A and B are shown apart, each in its own frame.
Chain A
């Protein structure tokens, strides 16, 4: 049975259903309880599950993230909510030095089944300390699984398997997706391994994830009006990357553009580009293109924020450049 709901509602329903299904699951973070969640994802959960399992925390990102890691080691299945990826830098020590390393350092004796959710991305004029996309910082780290659900279905269906994962999972929700509506089938299962083809095409492969996926699909629709059939790959899982899916797409289309809201230098787009170069270089008809954020802290004014981020015209231009077509479509 499917329903039409928002990404926000789907994210909240996923947490609700996981807590209802397993008494070991609880959520903690800043303002998840009495406030109802900064992005209203956890609204109503406190009334349903009480303050033990919907745990408001002080503004101690490192402390409560570490506590989530410890609770996971102690047999619970915590969902830690960090308000945004920008604040997660205060918890980076716990995530990188503890969650990601404990299994290895202990020779496999300890594991950390924690899920850490956080909002990411720009588009709400929140300026440079609330707008960054640092997903690739986490995607760099062995020992973590990094998810970027872009659809209503994924943000709902990825949580349950993430909680079943015996190892730490970082789950990114792009702030511009919360109000987006989509179709949800609560009984559908998804995997935490593979990328998804969101649109089939033969001329070029556009690779994206998270909030940029929808801009990429919009660009693909506009390219189609000009007779260019773009295939759109939604990475879904940023670590480990499902290279097979994007490489076989690029083998077919012989051209690729990566759309990534992270800054270009050292980006996930750079990693994907390198993998394409390593694996399918001789089958490429054009250099791999990248559409990333400008190398600037995200500015506050609307026009400057928009100029800093990947936008549909830039994606179209990059695709056309890869196809050897200059200028505006006729």
Chain B
């Protein structure tokens, strides 16, 4: 293994990098806590699916990607958008449905897009983004580009036909796709073992002869290391890779979910092992960061969120006259 490859495939846990990882996770966590609050104030409407508890995956994986790689995510994608580098102002304005939102307000919480960041949504059909990822990767392959398309989805998608069709196509055609399954063990309210005959999700990908592995999705260091290995394989032209990140959603599926399907104790137990509390504890214990660093991160993030809310509040609503815009290039 060359020195260059070691660098590419192993995260270096320097002070700056640890600070960055923690800050990204806290940024997403606090942003979403604010969103929940804004939802109760009816500033944000419709569905709101919080990523709280799963932040290590988006942050860890995104750090392994290049600027011209493509990223597809689900309706629980606020964290991915922020980790991918979309400006928080635009993401917040999109949550409001305002003109300055990342999709001009037309998509809302579930459909955040950014062409410049190659952030291809925000797809709210479970499994619907997987064939798109296959196609984006096919275009790269046919045009001789060494880009990676990363597709995030939940374990619920593994029950969809589109999941299996995409696994097969991507492997059959050796396409540069990184599939990232965020297995939070509940498809809305249906526990994994109540819906799948094979609950080991990454084994399904392996059955298509795709290299696959499962990692602790609550451990950001493990996620990032696995993502770097996976991305290196995909970028080298060895075909797709499947990464199952085992995680847990601390909040309800959406704001309408009374959570009848799991106990409060179960959630509490999982929260103790959450990605932020764990990583923050570790960097403090190891003396890599100090409490003053954490306080500085929290202060930074609070300021960024305040500014994003102010930006969204100040943004205009789209004029009714634009209703039919963006249906087609030719109206």
Contacts and interface: CB of A to CB of B under 8 A. Distances in A.
A complexed with B: yes
A98 B128 contact: yes
A255 to B, nearest CB: 32
Interface stretch (B46-54, B117-125, B222-230, B280-288): B117-125
30 contacts: A58-B165, A62-B162, A63-B161, A64-B169, A65-B131, A66-B166, A67-B135, A67-B138, A68-B135, A70-B135, A70-B138, A72-B135, A72-B139, A73-B132, A75-B143, A93-B125, A94-B162, A98-B125, A103-B328, A103-B329, A104-B327, A105-B106, A105-B107, A105-B111, A105-B121, A106-B106, A107-B101, A108-B104, A145-B328, A167-B329
Most A C-beta atoms less than 10 A away, residue of B132, B134, B137, B166: B132
Interface string B167-209: 0110010000000000000000000000000000000000000
Contact of B120 (A58, A78, A110): A110
A244 interface: no
B140 interface: yes
B121 A106 contact: yes
Interface in B92-148: 101-107, 111, 113-115, 120-123, 125, 128, 130-140, 142-143
B168 to A, nearest CB: 6
A109 interface: yes
B325 A108 contact: yes
Given A62-B165, A66-B128, A142 B327 contact: yes
Interface string A86-113: 0000000110011000111111111100
B264 interface: no
Contacts of B101: 107
B139 A70 contact: yes
Interface string A128-147: 00000000000000110100
A126 interface: no
Given A60-B169, A64-B169, A107-B104, A98 B123 contact: yes
Interface in A41-70: 52, 57-58, 60, 62-70
Given A66-B130, A74-B143, 20 more contacts: A58-B169, A62-B161, A63-B161, A63-B165, A63-B168, A66-B131, A66-B135, A67-B131, A68-B135, A70-B139, A74-B135, A94-B128, A97-B128, A103-B328, A103-B329, A104-B326, A106-B107, A107-B106, A107-B107, A107-B326
Contacts, number: 150
B162 A167 contact: no
- Main SS of the interface on chain B? mixed
B133 A70 contact: yes
A36 interface: no
Most A C-beta atoms less than 10 A away, residue of B106, B122, B137: B106
Contacts of B106: 104-107
Contacts of B168: 58, 60, 63
A73 B169 contact: no
Contacts of A98: 123, 125, 128, 132
B140 A106 contact: no
A73 B120 contact: yes
A111 B325 CA distance: 13
